[in-house]
């Protein structure tokens, strides 16, 4: 059982907070991604776990024991970085064997471990080559191999796919995930790429300005975001966030978007703390808006502004009718995801239909209500 616990961990650099009162439990054999925008404290968290930084407050436990007093070498953690940092003058075999040599592992054991790692990573035919004669993907596999041969308790990975081309990146995501499953090593993976985190992780911890915003499975975070930041960070094209106000009239309940009143009478119970006029934010994902064929009271007349082909789907950016609240949206437009091949052109008048059973309602401050 290798569980990693971050218990109220904070890190300040010269008085500036990089990580603030961070609590997270990473379960045995779990693949946990630390996700967030640039500068939110992801690398600092990883460095704290590795022992490359000392927390200003809080505790870090591995396997039930605090590691704050345990030196880096003895933490039994292997790290993989953005840059592979291989030794160019050494063969692949020597690169893989190096961490073991440093730890005075016997030659026989080293051979066995290198052989196993090389087979696992498909490097067995490349053991005599030097890194300069390997592709980017092969070099990254050697970097992973160097972590694997150590047979550590925990893998820490800091954006290891950053410098690979998009195709290789997609391939390596699957390879790393499969490898991690097979080895069953608790893994903490830092990335700013939401799709990478969604595809690879058992759970994701999403950070903003050093503060944990939400932790959960990819589906949980996508479907039940805790605030507008989380909702906006996951999903591509991004969720539509629209200012609105709460209105009760004639026994019905609406979200008033100025250009349209969305009837949410059947969800009124959850909204019962609201009062007429409360300012809210409606979140609706591009796949929950459709283009309606028929004119009806629950559709919104609008105009196609931009079409972004995404392969099997397209993102249609649609201009809303007069709408003054531009604060959270991209202007006065919404993203609508449709199947490719839909016969629409820029400038076409279309009617939008919101799937109101899949909406999110946030307070003006950003916290989720529904
Ligand atoms: P990126 O995705 O760009 O790598 P990140 O989320 O990993 O960013 P960190 O590198 O952890 O973010 O940095 C978090 C904050 O702490 C940043 O504001 C950064 O400038 C600051 N910081 C990190 N290391 C140090 C340091 N050694 N001294 C001073 N400030 C630092």
> SS3 for 109?
helix
Ligand 1 atom at minimal distance to the Cα of residue 45:
11
Query: What letter would DSSP give residue 202?
Result: S
Q: Considering only CA atoms, which of 137, 133, 145, 66 is closest in space to residue 100?
A: 145
The pair of structure tokens assigned to 329 is 């949206």
- pTM given for the model: 0.90
> Which single residue is written with the structure tokens 């968290």?
45
What element of type H or E holds 232? helix 228-233
13 lines ligand 1 (CB under 6 A): yes
End-to-end CA distance of the chain: give it in Å, rounded.
37
- Closest residue CA from atom 21 of ligand 1: 18
Rg (the chain; Cα; Å): 25
Query: What letter would DSSP give residue 74?
Result: G
The whole-angstrom separation of Cα 243 and Cα 325 is: 6
Phi and psi angles of residue 161, each rounded to the nearest 5 degrees, phi first: -105, 5
- Closest residue CA from atom 16 of ligand 1: 18
Per-residue pLDDT of the chain in tens (370 residues, 90 and over written 9): 799 999 999 999 998 999 999 999 999 999 999 999 999 999 999 999 999 999 999 999 999 999 999 998 889 999 998 877 889 999 999 999 999 998 889 999 999 999 998 988 889 899 999 999 998 888 988 998 999 898 899 999 999 888 788 888 888 889 899 989 998 999 999 999 999 999 999 999 999 999 999 999 999 999 999 999 999 999 999 999 999 998 888 888 899 988 899 998 887 666 666 666 688 999 999 999 999 877 888 899 898 989 999 889 999 999 887 655 444 444 578 999 998 888 888 999 999 999 988 999 999 999 998 7
- Closest residue CA from atom 15 of ligand 1: 18
Q: At what angle do helices 92-102 and 136-148 cross, to 10 degrees?
A: 20
Q: How far is the CA of 218 from the centre of ligand 1 (A)?
A: 25
The pair of structure tokens assigned to 231 is 């909702």
> Which single residue is written with the structure tokens 């800091």?
158
Query: What letter would DSSP give residue 358?
Result: G
The CA-atom distances, in angstroms, between 356 and each of 11, 330, 353 are: 42, 21, 9
Q: Outline where 9-106 has alpha helix (H).
A: 42-50, 92-102
15 lines ligand 1 (CB under 6 A): no
44 lines ligand 1 (CB under 6 A): yes
42 lines ligand 1 (CB under 6 A): yes
Q: How far is the CA of 48 from the centre of ligand 1 (A)?
A: 12
43 lines ligand 1 (CB under 6 A): yes
Q: Considering only CA atoms, which of 346, 287, 339, 352 is closest in space to residue 310?
A: 339
């Amino acid at each position: 059982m290798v569980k990693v616990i971050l218990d109220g961990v904070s890190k300040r650099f010269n008085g500036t907070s990089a990580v603030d009162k961070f609590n997270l439990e990473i379960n045995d054999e779990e693949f946990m991604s630390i996700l967030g925008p640039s500068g939110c404290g992801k690398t600092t968290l990883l460095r704290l776990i590795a022992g490359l930084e000392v927390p200003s407050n809080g505790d870090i436990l591995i396997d039930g024991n605090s590691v704050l007093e345990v030196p880096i070498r003895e933490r039994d953690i292997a790290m993989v970085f953005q840059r592979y940092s291989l030794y160019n003058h050494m063969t692949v075999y020597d690169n893989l064997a190096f961490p073991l040599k440093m730890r005075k592992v016997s030659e026989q054991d080293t051979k066995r471990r290198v052989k196993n790692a090389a087979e696992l990573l498909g490097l067995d035919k490349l053991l005599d080559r030097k890194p300069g004669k390997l592709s980017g993907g092969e070099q990254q596999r050697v970097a992973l191999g160097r972590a694997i041969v150590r047979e550590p308790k925990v893998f820490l990975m800091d954006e290891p796919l950053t410098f690979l081309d998009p195709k290789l990146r997609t391939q390596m995501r699957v390879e790393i995930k499969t490898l991690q499953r097979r080895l069953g090593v608790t893994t903490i993976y830092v990335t700013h790429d939401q799709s990478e985190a969604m595809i690879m992780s058992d759970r994701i911890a999403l950070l903003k300005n050093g503060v944990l915003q939400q932790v959960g499975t990819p589906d949980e975070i996508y479907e039940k975001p805790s605030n507008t930041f989380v909702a906006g960070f996951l999903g591509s094209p991004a969720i539509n966030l629209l200012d609105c106000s709460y209105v009760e009239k004639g026994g019905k309940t609406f979200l008033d978007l100025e250009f349209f009143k969305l009837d949410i009478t059947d969800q009124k119970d959850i909204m019962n703390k609201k009062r007429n006029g409360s300012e809210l934010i409606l979140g609706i994902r591009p796949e929950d808006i459709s283009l309606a064929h028929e004119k009806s009271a629950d559709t919104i007349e609008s105009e196609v502004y931009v079409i972004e082909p995404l392969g099997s789907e397209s993102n249609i950016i649609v201009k809303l009718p007069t709408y003054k609240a531009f604060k959270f949206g991209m202007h006065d437009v919404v993203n609508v995801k449709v199947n490719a091949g839909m016969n629409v052109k820029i400038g076409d008048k279309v009617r939008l239909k919101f799937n109101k059973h899949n909406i999110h309602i946030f307070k003006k401050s950003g916290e989720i209500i529904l």
